[in-house]
Amino acid sequence: MKLRALNNPIRHAIVTALRALGEASAGEIAAHVGEDAQLIHYHLRLLVESGLISRSHVRPATTKPKIVFSAKEPVLVDTIDLDDPQVRKEVQRNVATVASAAGRDYARAIEDHRNEAHDSCSLFRIVCSLTLDQRAELSVRVMELTNWLISQGKPDGEKYTFTLLVSPLD
* pLDDT value at residue 95: 84
Buried b (16+ CB within 10 A) or exposed e, 29-44: bbebbebeeeebeebb
* pLDDT value at residue 79: 65
* pLDDT value at residue 155: 67
| Edge-to-edge strand list for the sheet holding 66-71 | 23-25, 66-71, 53-59
* pLDDT value at residue 32: 87
* pLDDT value at residue 112: 81
* pLDDT value at residue 137: 92
Domains and CATH numbers, the chain: 2-71 (1.10.10.10)
Number of H-type helices and E-type strands within the chain: 7, 3
Question: Which residues of the chain carry a pLDDT beneath 50?
Answer: none
Residues whose CB falls within 8 Å of the CB of residue 134, separated by 6 or more in sequence, listed in order: none
Kindly report, residue by residue over 30-69, the tens digit of the pLDDT. 988 888 888 999 999 999 998 889 998 888 877 888 889 9
